[in-house]
Structure 1
Amino acid sequence: MQSADVGEVIKTARRIKDGDIYSWYDEWYKEANRILGLAEKWEKEGHATSASEAYFRATTYFQSAGFYMLAPQDRDRARDCRKRSRATFLKAIEAYPNITYVEIPYGDVVIPGYLAKSEKTGNKAPIVIVNTGFDGSAEDSFNGVAWAAMKRGYDCLVFEGPGQGELFMEKDLYFRHDWEVVGKAVLDYVETLPGVNHDKIVYLGVSMGGYLAPRVAAFDDRIDVLVVNSGLFKLYECAFRIFPDDVT
């Protein structure tokens, strides 16, 4: 599924002032709302496919708008973008009965995510669990992995844990070093899913998830295949390169 349009991206990027994060926010927010308007128009006119595609693109653009809104004074902007990106994604998947929003029990809260069922029918499907990273979301994880997984006969579950997305923005829950606790909650949920081959569970960690996923696998033998796609071999060294020598 196309979650962005090259022409829209280039047009928006050209309007952004170099080095200005608020210009970045303004232009992506405007484009997201423009595409959202088209999606709503096409939905009313009965063009379900075109509307769904536009909702997917609006999701990406709202997420892009909020990406650099990290300072405390920008938190309301970040929350607004996150809520809008989730709302548009939920509208987009209405056209796909095999994709559902899910809530995974986790202590006193729930872990939000999406479950995509394989496009192939027949035997129980293997499942790919996608663990996003430091600033990822369930929506961009879905676009990055789930479509490809479904076409190849896999079910796919993407989620946001503490320190990520909704649990960070709305619940003030932060990353935990013992991520295997989060992984256990997700794997316990997967075991309740019908139509899944529970002997063929793939756990994929992307970006910072490339650190988190091995912790889950180290403590839980229900994972059949572990895929680590962190992009970094030594996160500590990369993080501290930005600091002066007298600090590190």
Structure 2
Amino acid sequence: MRPHTVYRDGFYRDASWDFAVRCLLGRASRGGSEPGEVLATVARVEEGDHSGWFSAWSDLGNHLAAVGDAATARGHRPGAARAFLRSANYLATALESVDHLPDTDALLPTFRRHRLVWEAFVATGRWSVDEVEIPYEGTPMPGWHFHPEDSRPPAPTLVVVNGSDGTLSGLWCEIADAALERGYGVLLFDGPGQQSMLFEHGIPFRPDWEAVLTPVMEHLLARDDVDPERIALYGISQGGYWATRALAFEHHFAAAVLDGGVVDVAASWRKEIPAPLLRLYDRGEHAKFERAMELGMRTPRGRRTRAVWDFRTRPYGTSGFAETLDAVSRYQVRDVAGRVSTPVLIADPDREQFFPGQSEELSGMVEGSTFVPFTEAEGASFHCQPLARELTAQRTLDWLDERLSPRRAPARPPAGAPGQPPPAPPPRSGR
């Protein structure tokens, strides 16, 4: 590889490692990483050394957590917050690699360490925040409602919906901090199958995400610091599915951003399964499919695939290969996307590796949607544009601003001016 082609050719041959490095580097503009720390760590880890990869990011995250603790003790809160945020993102990278280790005993301790550091960041950061519990069946969903500075309530509010395996510290860098700067309140939360709801409570995903976002909306509408006419939704990665599904039934949102669009989650699973095996599954020969998949997972390449499969399967709460595909196949919006009436922006990056073509397909299903390409030429290729998060925030938040900003009433004519009709009331914003 020539050094100047690394953006195009990748930091590693392992696609998941390459994507992780891109995500970390892309968070630098919001303080979520230090490029030198990331590149120095990458330089120490050889391709295929999964234990070394886990240890490198875990060690760096723990080191920065200690830096943050020391800075907090000396009263240096801004420096502490920056160290904690970087620590949280590095520990998240370690967490995502646990399934490649000989055993998964480190999963829960690594998550808990990551979450403690995230909470330390929240406690030392610049933004005012309320920790909230959003009613959800028998287990409340934990949330963090951040408030913009110098803003008189009620404020426009952005609900950020995570993907299948993202973390709160990642969401912070990807959109939350930028939205707060523009005067939005921001709600981050763990939904079913996500982070603490999965790791601490064992609650899996569900396809009918309106059952998740309707309680979120009810929670926000009960608050006097939220403008009920200016609540927007931002779904990132597989959150593009969650948001689309919910918008087909929950119509209170004034606008929504899908970063990017997801029509059929199962398509990203099916394309990784050899065609002969997939035919067994499609014919309903599930016993043969199970045996063939199990044998394939015992090869050296198959063992690497098994680690990815286990990581992606965990949030669905399934066990067998066929059972998992049955479950994932329920996560599609072709039968409901036409019901979406909320103004929607759909992002579509070049070289989308997980859901190729689905943003454009979804845009054709949602009447009046705004389709926004992101190109490799502007450094915005790959899933969720990991190295172009500032560009993404600028485009998506500009679009939201134009739909949620209060509109001024027409100027009142001078008293006694002849022939002037009374000014019309301003239209409702955001709809």
How would you bin the TM-score normalised by the shorter chain?
over 0.9
| Counterpart among 109, 115, 133 of residue 163 in structure 2 | 133
1:23-62 aligned at under 5 Å gives the runs 23-62=52-91
Q: Is the 8 A contact 2:32 2:82 kept in 1?
A: yes
- Structure 2 CA distance for aligned equivalents of residues 66 and 17 of structure 1: 19
Q: Which residue of 2 aligns with 1:210?
A: 240
**Residue 79 in structure 1 maps to residue 105 in structure 2:** no
* AA of the residue aligned to 1:227: V
How many residues are paired up? 248
Partner of 1:162: 192
Q: In the TM superposition, what is the alpha-carbon distance from 1:73 to its structure 2 partner? A: 6.5
Which residues of 2 match residues 203-242 of structure 1 at below 5 A?
A: 203-230=233-260, 234-242=264-272
In the superposition, the TM-score normalised over structure 1's length comes to: 0.93
Residue from 11, 17, 33 that aligns with 1:4 = 33
Question: 5+ unaligned residues in a row in structure 1: which ranges?
Answer: none
Task: Verify the 8 A CA contact 2:127 2:146 in the aligned structure 1.
Answer: no
Give 1:26 shift.
0.5
**Aligned counterpart for 2:213 among listed residues 183, 193, 203:** 183
1:153 aligns to 2:183 (yes or no) = yes
Q: In proportion to residue count, which structure has more strand?
A: 1
SS in 1 for 2:256: strand
CA-based RMSD:
1.8
SS in 1 for 2:243: helix
> 2:49 — aligned with what?
20
Partners of 2:50 and 2:101 within 8 A in 1: no
Instruction: Return the alpha-carbon distance in structure 2 between the equivalents of residues 200 and 119 of structure 1.
Output: 17
Specify the code of the residue in structure 2 equivalent to 1:192.
A
Q: Which runs of 4+ in 1 moved over 6 A?
A: none
Q: Percent identity?
A: 28
Give ranges in structure 2 of 5+ residues lacking alignment. Answer: 1-29, 279-431
Higher Rg of the two aligned structures: 2
Structure 1 Cα separation of the partners of residues 143 and 167 of structure 2: 9
Structure 1 residues 62-93: Cα deviation after superposition (integer angstroms, max 9, x where no partner): 11111121379644312112111111111112
> CA distance change for structure 1 residues 232 and 74 in 2, over 3 Å: closer, same or farther?
farther
Structure 1 residue 101 displacement after superposition: 2.8
Cα distance 1:111–1:45, how it changes in 2: closer, same or farther (>3 A)?
same
Q: Is the 8 A contact 2:234 2:257 kept in 1?
A: yes
Name the CA shift for 1:205/1:97 in 2 (closer, same or farther; >3 Å).
closer
